[in-house]
Amino acid sequence: MEGLCSIVRKDTKIGIRDLTETVELEALAQEMSGLMSRLYPICRSITGNGLRETLAIIKNYIPLTVNEIPTGTKVFDWTVPKEWNINDAYVKNSKGERVIDFRKSNLHVMGYSIPVHTKMSLSELKKHLHTLPDHPHWIPYRTSYYKESWGFCLSHNQFNELEEDIYEVCINSTLEDGHLTYGEYYLKGNSSKEILISCHACHPSLCNDNLSGIILSTLLGRHLNPLSLNYSYRIIFIPATIGAITWLSQNETQVSHIKHGLVAACVGDSGQFTYKRSRIGTAEIDVTVEHVLKHSGNSFKVVDFSPYGYDERQYCSPGFNLPIGSLQRTTHGQYLEYHTSADNCDFVRSEYLIDSFKMYLSVINVLENNKKYISKNQKCEPQLGKRGLYTAVGGDSHTNLDQMALLWVINLSDGKHTLLDIAERSGKEFNLIKEAADALHRCDLLDEFHG
């Protein structure tokens, strides 16, 4: 009855526990599917109008601030690149038929391809074609952000059907000075201490990587919005790598407010959860996520930080070393469909998105409620019976869980242990410990401890 519920306003329907109500979950699932379908066809990249259009749609859910950083801006060791936009692209055979057609899939064009319009033989063309021979039905996803180049991606089957011919090659793109765009949603809590949720929003029609992360972050933001929260929340939608670097560069002094964070990506597939620890490895976010996963009843994997993956690479660079991990399902590069056309709306299912959404909420629930108390009876146990907290008839060996949780909270509330510490040492789930602490607090047996 406590848990995140205690921070849910009366007029709010979806709390941690309420999620088990089928109707709400079905509505949320449908909403997720709808948002996915709407975002999927957009041709996003690390800059440009696809990204802008995506952020505009997200704005329907949460009051996003959109930032535009000009091309050429120095961001640490990097420079904000030229903005890339694309209208159309194709390869036509001599009959004028589009044998490769950007309108069918935005993966057909290598990201950041420079404009080209020319004719060439098949053998010349082939130098610019990318396929996946091992998965002949799938189109690969390729980019060339920092080296000017152009190319087409297509299935290997399609590639094999290309005949000797003179082909018209057209990429109607622009690569010009412009801006790098990112979106940011800041939700003020009771404290200026922040929890950061970061997702990359630069991939075109790829669903798990990372429409799933965008959808989860968006709806998480909307869910948190009406709640009374202890932490402030910052949810950022950024292009990978250059976006994180740009954001950190623009917010360098403010980063110290971040107390915990998660990089949200690959949260919509059927795989088990994977938690990648922060570089610190033992930060509260690390202990929290592992606690939540351990008590979720699901199988999961925890991996140590490594300097590869998503934007935790930047957040955990030594000069920042932020307590930010990444909670994913099947992690990048570990599923065959990764960075191919098979990472589509069939690969991601709303039941898994919902499951991930609940897991993120559970993590937030622990962080929000992870207080420290001082028992008012440091010497010997207080008498629980006279406060109605103890089964009256002695000799009954069936002590229920709450009874043990009460005793653990009393014994370890010495100003050195948070509720999460107590949960971990006792082996009990956080909410049981929190409920026990709430009961003891109501009975005036605990003081909150700030120190």
Residues in touch with its own copies (CB under 8 A): 75-78, 111, 140-147, 149, 241, 244-245, 248-249, 252, 279, 306-308, 313-314, 316-320, 332-333, 338-339, 375, 377-383, 385-386, 392-397, 399, 404, 407-408, 410-414, 426
CA-wise closest residue to 115 among 169, 173, 168: 173
Q: Is residue 447 left, alpha or beta, with left meaning phi > 0 and alpha meaning psi from -120 to 50?
A: beta
CA distance linking residue 316 with residue 98, whole number of Å: 46
* Beta-sheet pairing, 194-200 with 232-238: parallel
Smallest gap from residue 244 Cβ to its own copies (A): 7
- Residue 55 vs 248, nearer CB to its own copies: 248
User: Cα 242 from chain centroid?
Assistant: 17
Smallest gap from residue 193 Cβ to its own copies (A): 21
- Residue 337 vs 355, nearer CB to its own copies: 337
- Residue 219 vs 263, nearer CB to its own copies: 263
- Residue 297 vs 319, nearer CB to its own copies: 319
Structure tokens, 395: 């000799």
- Residue 244 vs 432, nearer CB to its own copies: 244
Smallest gap from residue 344 Cβ to its own copies (A): 16
**Residue 120, CA distances (Å) to 124, 168, 173 in order:** 6, 7, 19
Residue 194: partners with Cβ closer than 8 Å, 6 or more residues away? 231, 232, 233, 234, 257, 258, 259
Smallest gap from residue 351 Cβ to its own copies (A): 27
Residues constituting the chain: 451
Q: Tell me whether the omega of the peptide bond preceding residue 251 falls within 30 degrees of 0, making it cis.
A: no
Q: What are the phi and psi torsion angles at 327 (to 5°)?
A: -105, 110
Smallest gap from residue 137 Cβ to its own copies (A): 18
Smallest gap from residue 166 Cβ to its own copies (A): 27
- Residue 287 vs 384, nearer CB to its own copies: 384
